[in-house]
Amino acid sequence: MESSILDLIGVEIIGVMSPVSICMLLVVLIVYSLSPSNPFSAAPAPPIRTAANLVYLESPSDSTAEKFEGALLNALVFVIVIAVVTFFLVLLYYYNCTGFLKNYMRFSAFFVLGTMGGSIFLSMIQHFSIPVDSITCFILLFNFTIVGVMSLFSSGVPIFVRQGYMVALGIFVAAWFTKLPEWTTWALLVALALYDLVAVLAPGGPLKMLVELAQSRDEELPALVYEARPTVSQNGIAQGRSLDLLVGGVSESGSVEMQTVSSNNLDRNESQNRVNSGYNVIQDTNFGNMEGVQRRDEVERSQLVGFLEERRSSGSSSSEYSTVVGNRDSEIVADEERSPLVDAPEMRNGREQMRDGQENSEVSSRGIKLGLGDFVFYSVLVGRAAMYDLMTVYACYLAIISGLGCTLILLSVRRQALPALPISIALGVIFYFLTRLLMEPYVVGTATNLMMF
């Protein structure tokens, strides 16, 4: 029995969603097990002062207006700090200080894994009374950290390890962020979502500049980015295309003329239309769908239209690299902000090249990439929700995941780097407050009377 169509669709979406889910789940568990509400850890820790609350230190006795104002100020300052640091990093990248940037990333990863991770491990050990002596613990932590640092920018490390460390970094930073006071957290999340929107989409935004710079240079960004790579490289062409095709189906489902062509290469026609409308005539002569046939056709065609083809393939190869995105603009002292950014490679162009049979190395650079900042701030939102109730956690989780799904679908339509924070954070915040204010009394009221439906 042939594999049905259901097996093909959505692989890359799940490939991104599952690490995000794992990250959120672990952060919620950490928040739950280490939250001061349990009787063993007595007094809450004194509030920490960081770049995220430079201006205003929230205390429970303040009035709402004071808290609100202070939280806004904090968020503003934090965003400004991040913007300045990002510009600085872009400047460094512009002047080709890639080595410095990479080492800086390594150092910060070392710092995060060693200190933040270390402190989380320590409190775990204390909380669960794990019998470990300090020397063993130190050696283990050191090894863990060193492997993490090495896995960042070297190609020799299995991708699974690298993904694991990315998720671990996200978890540590997020768990640390949940220690911020409540109002500041919300203001910060909203402010970052807005900043993300501006930085990625507005002309002259730092992240947009960074992406374009990397495009024009054909190199990978020295950035902390999660890559959902293995699924693509293992299963090859079909999966890389599926999201693409599905979205293609959405966009063209209304147009009847496309349907009547009734050949297997509708999608190809469509993509060619976008690339160069002049290809239509030639494209219509392609009717097979077998890859082998395709390739032959492609060769023929490239002979026919050599000039155009060449021009186009050069164009696509440059944009192929451009897909590497994400980035990270962070500052250790000012905590870590990792560039909230999603990017998908131009699957269409990648596909073209693959059919041309020229690309093997490039296949490995495909796959959706998600900036580590998105991991962090999704998890911060969920972790903050976990401090209220489990109900809000579920609602926020669903909202964030659906926001991520929307962003990914948008990505395959727009084919450019997109900010991943705004939709998800907006949905998450809305659902949090709706759940907290509206749903909880309703559900608790009916369920405690044992009434369900």
Partner 1 sequence: MTVAAGIGYALLALGPSLSLFISVIAKKPFLILTVLSSTLLWLMSLIVLAGVWRAFLPLKSTTWWPFVILILTSISFQEGLRILFWKVHKRLEDMLDAFADRLAKPRLFLTDKMLISLAGGLGHGLAHAVFFCLSLLTPAFGPATFFVDKCSQLPFFLVSAIIALAFVTIHTFSMVIAFNGYAEGNRLDQFFVPAVHLVAGMVTLVNFARGGCVVGIPLLYLMAILTMLHCGRMVQRRLSENRS
Q: Which stretch binds partner 1 (CB under 8 A): 103-111, 161-169, 262-270, 300-308?
A: 262-270
Q: Which stretch binds partner 1 (CB under 8 A): 112-120, 136-144, 375-383, 433-441?
A: 433-441
Task: Kindly write out the interface string for residues 180-219 of this chain, putting x where it contacts partner 1 by CB under 8 A and - elsewhere.
Answer: ----------------------------------------
Select from 170, 182, 174, 179 the least CA-distant residue to 36. Answer: 179
Report if residue 124 touches partner 1, rule: CB under 8 A.
no
Strands, E assignment, 323-452? 342-343, 369-371
- Sites for partner 1 among residues 61-80 (CB under 8 A): none
Residue 265 is classified by DSSP as: T
Task: Kindly write out the interface string for residues 363-392 of this chain, putting x where it contacts partner 1 by CB under 8 A and - elsewhere.
Answer: --------------------------xxx-
Judged by beta carbon, residue 40 or residue 307, the one nearer partner 1 is 40
Report if residue 245 touches partner 1, rule: CB under 8 A.
yes
Buried b vs exposed e over 179-199: b needs ≥16 C-beta within 10 Å? bbbebbbbbbbbbbbbbbbbb
Choosing from 100, 250, 322, 421, the residue that interacts with partner 1 (CB under 8 A) is 250
CB of 438 to partner 1, least distance (A): 4
Single out the catalytic residue among 133, 196, 329, 343: 196
Single out the catalytic residue among 284, 356, 374, 389: 374
Residues 105, 112: Cα–Cα separation, whole Å: 10
State both tokens at 310: 């060449």
* In contact, 337 and 92? CB cutoff 8 Å: no
Looking at this protein, which amino acid is placed at residue 429?
V
List, in order, residues 6 or more apart from 379 with CB less than 8 Å away.
23, 24, 27, 170, 171, 174, 175
Q: Which stretch binds partner 1 (CB under 8 A): 2-10, 42-50, 200-208, 272-280?
A: 2-10
Choosing from 9, 22, 141, 426, the residue that interacts with partner 1 (CB under 8 A) is 9
Choosing from 111, 405, 410, 426, the residue that interacts with partner 1 (CB under 8 A) is 405
Strands, E assignment, 37-92? none
Judged by beta carbon, residue 236 or residue 315, the one nearer partner 1 is 236
Judged by beta carbon, residue 41 or residue 50, the one nearer partner 1 is 41
State both tokens at 252: 């063209």
Report if residue 140 touches partner 1, rule: CB under 8 A.
no
State both tokens at 441: 């009394």
Q: Which stretch binds partner 1 (CB under 8 A): 56-64, 161-169, 242-250, 367-375?
A: 242-250
State both tokens at 388: 């209220």
Sign for the CA dihedral angle at 35, 37, 43, 44 comes to positive
CB atoms closer than 10 angstroms to residue 209: 18
Residues 344, 374: Cα–Cα separation, whole Å: 15
CB of 127 to partner 1, least distance (A): 13
* In contact, 92 and 206? CB cutoff 8 Å: no
Report if residue 264 touches partner 1, rule: CB under 8 A.
yes
Report if residue 130 touches partner 1, rule: CB under 8 A.
no
Choosing from 29, 141, 201, 266, the residue that interacts with partner 1 (CB under 8 A) is 266
Report if residue 251 touches partner 1, rule: CB under 8 A.
no
Select from 417, 439, 250 the least CA-distant residue to 346. Answer: 417
* In contact, 267 and 247? CB cutoff 8 Å: no
Report if residue 398 touches partner 1, rule: CB under 8 A.
yes
Judged by beta carbon, residue 131 or residue 254, the one nearer partner 1 is 254
Asked if 389 is an active-site residue, the reply is no
Q: In degrees rounded to 5, what are phi and psi of residue 65?
A: -60, -45
Asked if 374 is an active-site residue, the reply is yes
Residues 276, 389: Cα–Cα separation, whole Å: 53
* In contact, 383 and 27? CB cutoff 8 Å: yes
Report if residue 137 touches partner 1, rule: CB under 8 A.
no
Please give the biggest Cα pair distance in the chain.
78
Q: Is 55 helix (H, G, I), strand (E, B) or coil?
A: coil
Report if residue 307 touches partner 1, rule: CB under 8 A.
no
Choosing from 62, 66, 69, 267, the residue that interacts with partner 1 (CB under 8 A) is 267
Choosing from 155, 234, 361, 449, the residue that interacts with partner 1 (CB under 8 A) is 449
The residues annotated as belonging to the active site are 196, 374
Binding site for partner 1 (CB under 8 A): 2-11, 13-14, 238, 245-246, 249-250, 253, 259, 264, 266-267, 289, 389-391, 394-395, 398-399, 401-402, 405, 431, 434-435, 437-439, 441-453
